[in-house]
């Protein structure tokens, strides 16, 4: 059994998509990051960076004590290896998937995250920052669009790379991107949207947190952190 420490954000959706696709048994442990639950000592033991998602696997392959993992990319890789699904066993296929997984966690995620911050949450309009992140998001979309020419999924077959990217592309309107500019992404997005497991993952999110509006208190918790926040 896997405990998934989760809230209803793009990084959280990556893992519910995987778990719904794979059929691994899991239970959700909600971590309401807008209410500061990521700072509870018990959660920090599992996720020292005070961010979700994180998992605890109560039946790791080595038969040892429960194993905790934080960072969505590390979790996807762990679960793919555990279940032997969504990551090719073939040397070239595996490395193709891993490159795009790392591209998402080190590029698309952080850049689109800053895009969301400056286009939606910043208390003042900072035109340079908006322009910088909207442009960089667009550049990353163009790279992905090129990769998706003549193929159904990002790597050779449906993989953890698709699961990592999808939740960060779905809010394309918020990121000030137009799908007409990226026809291969548009087709891929539709293909992803049609997958029953993806639909189940998003339905679950809506059940857990129907109100996705961010309150002023939540903004203070999420955007007011500095070195002193690390206890
Ligand atoms: N690099 C991390 C990012 C995770 C992340 O940014 N999580 C956010 C929500 S999407 C979070 O838990 N924020 C709580 C906080 O910053 O206090 C990953 O890929 O797992």
4 pLDDT band (50/70/90 cuts)?
A: very high
105 lines ligand 1 (CB under 6 A): yes
Mutate to test the pocket of ligand 1, among 30, 51, 115, 164 (most ligand atoms within 8 A of CB): 51
CATH for 146: 1.20.1050.10
Using CA positions, which residue lies closest to atom 19 of ligand 1?
Answer: 72
- Judge whether 206 lies within some domain: no
Is 6 in the same domain as 50? yes
Mean pLDDT to the nearest integer, 56-81: 98
- Judge whether 48 lies within some domain: yes
Residue 52, pLDDT above cutoff 90: yes
Is 185 in the same domain as 107? yes
What atom in ligand 1 is closest to the CA of residue 53?
20
Residue 112, pLDDT above cutoff 90: yes
- Judge whether 204 lies within some domain: no
Rounded to whole angstroms, the Cα distance separating 138 from 112 reads 9
Q: Is 4 left (phi over 0), alpha (psi -120 to 50) or beta?
A: beta
- Judge whether 75 lies within some domain: yes
Q: State the pLDDT at residue 18.
A: 98
Average of per-residue pLDDT values in the chain:
97
What CA–CA distances, in Å, run from 65 to 26, 71, 82, 138, 225? 17, 20, 16, 44, 33
CATH for 80: 3.40.30.10
pLDDT digits (tens, 9 = 90+) for 163-219: 999 999 999 999 999 999 999 999 999 999 999 999 999 999 999 999 888 999 999
- Judge whether 35 lies within some domain: yes
pLDDT digits (tens, 9 = 90+) for 145-171: 999 999 999 999 999 999 999 999 999
What atom in ligand 1 is closest to the CA of residue 33?
14
Q: How far is the CA of 152 from the centre of ligand 1 (A)?
A: 29
Rounded to whole angstroms, the Cα distance separating 68 from 200 reads 25
What atom in ligand 1 is closest to the CA of residue 105?
19
Q: How far is the CA of 126 from the centre of ligand 1 (A)?
A: 23
Number of domains, the chain: 2
Using CA positions, which residue lies closest to atom 5 of ligand 1?
Answer: 51
In contact, 127 and 119? CB cutoff 8 Å: no
Is 98 in the same domain as 186? yes
State the residue range of the domain holding 179. Answer: 91-194
52 lines ligand 1 (CB under 6 A): yes
- Judge whether 202 lies within some domain: no
Two tokens, residue 127: 């035109």
136 lines ligand 1 (CB under 6 A): no
Is 101 in the same domain as 178? yes
Residue 31, pLDDT above cutoff 90: yes
Chain centroid to Cα 60, Å, comes to: 23
- Judge whether 155 lies within some domain: yes
pTM listed for this prediction: 0.98
User: Torsion angle of alpha carbons 220, 225, 229, 230, nearest 10°?
Assistant: 140
Give strand pairing partners of 70: 54
Which of 42, 48, 17, 10 minimizes the C-alpha distance to 29?
42
- Judge whether 199 lies within some domain: no
């Amino acid at each position: 059994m896997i405990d998934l420490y989760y809230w209803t954000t793009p990084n959280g959706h990556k893992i519910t998509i995987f778990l719904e696709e794979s059929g691994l048994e899991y239970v959700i442990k909600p971590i309401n990051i807008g209410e500061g639950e990521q700072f509870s000592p018990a959660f920090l033991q599992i996720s020292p960076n005070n961010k979700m998602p994180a998992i605890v696997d109560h039946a790791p392959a080595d038969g040892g004590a429960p194993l905790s993992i934080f960072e969505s990319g590390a979790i996807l890789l762990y679960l793919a290896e555990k279940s032997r699904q969504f990551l090719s066993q073939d040397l070239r296929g595996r490395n193709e998937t891993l490159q795009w997984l790392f591209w998402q966690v080190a590029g698309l995620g952080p850049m689109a995250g800053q895009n969301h911050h400056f286009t939606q949450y910043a208390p003042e309009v900072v035109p340079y920052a908006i322009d910088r992140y909207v442009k960089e998001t667009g550049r990353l979309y163009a790279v992905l669009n090129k990769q998706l020419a003549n193929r159904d999924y990002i790597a050779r077959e449906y993989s953890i790379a698709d699961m990592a990217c999808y939740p960060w592309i779905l809010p394309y309107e918020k990121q000030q991107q137009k799908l007409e500019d990226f026809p291969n992404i548009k087709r891929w997005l539709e293909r992803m949207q049609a997958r029953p497991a993806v639909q189940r993952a998003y339905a679950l999110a809506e059940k857990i947190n129907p109100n996705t509006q961010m309150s002023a208190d939540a903004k203070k918790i999420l955007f007011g952190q500095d070195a002193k926040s690390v206890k």
